[in-house]
Amino acid sequence: MAARLLKLSSLATAVFASSGFYLYNKQLDLSDLSVVRFGRAAATTVVISYDYLTAFRHVERGTEEYSTLKSKLSELFVSFEEKPQGAASLAQVHKAVLHDGRTVALKIQHPKVQTQSSKDIMVMEVLLKAVHWLFPDFAFMWLVEEAKKNMPLELDFLNEGHNAEKVASMLAHFPFLKVPTIHWDLSTKRILTMEFTEGGQVNDKNYMKKHGINVNEISENLGKLYSEMIFVHGFVHCDPHPGNVLVRKCPQSKKTEIVLLDHGLYQALQPDFRLNYCRLWMSLIKGDMSGVERYSRRLGAGDLYPLFACVLTARSWDAVNAGISSVPVTHAEDVEIRTNAALYLPQISDLLNRVPRQMLLLLKTNDLLRGIETTLQTRAASSSFINMSRCCIRAMARHKRSRAQSGRRRLQIALTESLSLWKLSVYELFLWVRGSVLARWLAALLPVSWVFPGASVL
């Protein structure tokens, strides 16, 4: 094992020497982001010696030193692609083939990123303090606090690997989820090696059309994953930008899969926070304004609860009052929200300083997911609210069972949970029938009120 880690240390040197610390410093053409279609999911690591990362920093191609380093690559891999599959500020990813024939992706941390990140946080702190002194309403010091807390976690690939394995186990009941397998024997703290998995970005509609992937199915399944993570387990992948969420047809089963990558940034929700968050979303879906106020206040919003509800849902106050599941998103509403965001910046700043720090990454996650839904044109779909409601019901029932004192009470809770879930399934069936060809045929023959009398169980 020690010998393999030593080779990996030299490998990191070879990679950065041969690729010139390859970083994209230009605007990427989104059509070229097939470079991100690789399996760089989660992985882990131990410590790479700083000496090994710096000793050959200036090794040039064609020299004896370069040849020596290249030979070390051949000891570990049959082939190794020097040009990265993708590169970012913290690391770059290379494709390689092991001697047993398996294709892997190596995520290799840039040599100076550890020390540079500390300097960047310090500079950010100084600048934010200066801006706050000039503009007292600009109170975003929480950005520094979050950076100080999260940056070390993102730079620790051991942590990333354990997160990947945890979420893969936690969501193993979803057959459409793929988390690439980690190769622990070829991973260190700054190098992680994992199964290579190809796919298209989740917002690439052309890729989905070409490969026969249903956009609505992807959007619904992504919603299921995140509803389960947030409401049921309280362990949330907080960086679902399109480069970290791939879609593909499984080579073996030919079924559609979602590939979840980059597991460095997770948020673990405290039980009380998670349950109040569940209750708040159930109130928002139903348009229960007393519940919206009550649970927003419990989550720290105070008298800014109307603004909190709008920020959380990215919906207008009128839509929140009506129940977000019953009011479609319109262009006019989007314009209104963008306009008000600028007008209410001081209040938004105050709100973000009030709410628990757990909420900040959830807000970021919500925005990223909402952006994907907007691109796929599936935003505010009824299926997403049904999945959220289903997970909230399960989470609340599990909490109540854990506090029940008698078997009779636990049975009562289980029956109530089953009935609520059954009602949701019936409502889901109703929506499916309403959108079917038969329903449209009946609607053409009969008055609409005969075919679709009003119904709601949310």
pLDDT value, residue 394: 93
pLDDT value, residue 9: 47
Taking alpha carbons only, the member of 86, 79, 129 closest to residue 108 is: 86
pLDDT value, residue 187: 85
pLDDT value, residue 36: 28
| pLDDT tens track for 129-185 | 887 788 777 767 777 777 778 788 888 888 999 999 999 999 999 999 999 999 988
Taking alpha carbons only, the member of 102, 85, 89, 96 closest to residue 38 is: 85
Helix%, strand%, coil% for the chain, nearest 5 = 60, 10, 30
Catalytic residue among 29, 100, 120, 239: 239
Per-residue tokens: 321: 């009052």
Taking alpha carbons only, the member of 329, 369, 433 closest to residue 219 is: 369
pLDDT value, residue 436: 63
pLDDT value, residue 333: 85
Query: Is the pTM value of this prediction over 0.85?
Result: no
Query: How far is Cα 48 from Cα 6, in angstroms, rounded to an integer?
Result: 8
∠ at Cα 74 (71, 77), nearest 5°?
155
pLDDT value, residue 442: 56
pLDDT value, residue 57: 42
Q: Does the annotation mark 334 as catalytic?
A: no
pLDDT value, residue 225: 95
Domain ranges within the chain, ordered by starting residue: 112-184+199-268, 276-433
Taking alpha carbons only, the member of 218, 209, 205, 219 closest to residue 381 is: 219
Q: Which helix (H) or strand (E) holds 106?
A: strand 103-109
Taking alpha carbons only, the member of 20, 21, 24, 14 closest to residue 243 is: 24
Alpha helices (H) along 299-356? 305-313, 317-322, 331-343, 345-354
Per-residue tokens: 22: 């390859």
Percent of residues, the chain, with pLDDT higher than 90: 35
Segment-wise mean pLDDT, segments of 10 residues, the chain, 458 residues: 47 42 35 29 28 37 52 77 78 88 89 77 80 74 77 86 96 96 87 91 93 92 94 94 92 92 92 95 91 95 93 89 83 83 83 90 90 84 83 92 89 91 83 63 54 49
Query: How far is Cα 132 from Cα 126, in angstroms, rounded to an integer?
Result: 10
pLDDT value, residue 6: 45
Query: How far is Cα 222 from Cα 419, in angstroms, rounded to an integer?
Result: 25
pLDDT value, residue 438: 54
pLDDT value, residue 45: 25
pLDDT value, residue 35: 28
